[in-house]
Copies of this chain bind each other. A is one copy, B any other.
Amino acid sequence: MKISTDLAATDRRGMLAQLDPEQWDRLRALCSDIRNIPPRTTISVAGEPLDHSLLLLDGIAVRYVGSGPSHRQMVALQVAYDFIDLHALPLQRLDHDVATLTSATLAVFPHDALQRLVTEDKELALRLWRMTLIDAAIHRQWTYRVGGLRALAGMAHFFCELDYRLVSSGRGGEDGYRLPLTQLDLGDIVGISEVHVNRTLRQLREAGLCTFQNGFLQIHDRPGLSRTGHFDASYLYGGDAVP
Interface residues of A (CB under 8 A from B): 46-47, 63, 65-66, 68-73, 75-76, 87, 90-91, 95-96, 118-119, 122, 125-126, 129-130, 132-137, 139-144, 146-149, 153, 190-191, 230, 234-235, 237
Tell me the complex Cα distance, A125–B149, Å.
36
Q: Are A143 and B133 in contact (CB under 8 A)?
A: no
- On whether A95 and B137 interact (CB within 8 A), knowing A129-B132, A153-B70, the answer reads yes
**Given A95-B234, A132-B133, 8 more pairs with CB closer than 8 A:** A70-B149, A87-B133, A90-B126, A95-B235, A118-B122, A129-B129, A132-B136, A139-B139
Tell me the complex Cα distance, A71–B68, Å.
30
Q: Main secondary structure on chain A at its contact with chain B?
A: helix
Q: Are A140 and B234 in contact (CB under 8 A)?
A: no
- On whether A87 and B191 interact (CB within 8 A), knowing A66-B230, A70-B153, A149-B70, the answer reads no
Give the residues in chain B near A65, CB-CB below 8 Å.
Answer: 140-141, 143-144, 148
* Nearest-CB residue, chain B, relative to A94: B137
Q: Are B191 and A75 in contact (CB under 8 A)?
A: no
Tell me the complex Cα distance, A235–B94, Å.
8
Choose from B66, B125, B134 the contact partner of A125 (Cβ within 8 Å): B125
- On whether A71 and B148 interact (CB within 8 A), knowing A65-B140, A76-B140, the answer reads yes
Give the residues in chain B near A72, CB-CB below 8 Å.
Answer: 148
Q: Are A148 and B70 in contact (CB under 8 A)?
A: yes
Choose from B129, B135, B190 the contact partner of A90 (Cβ within 8 Å): B129
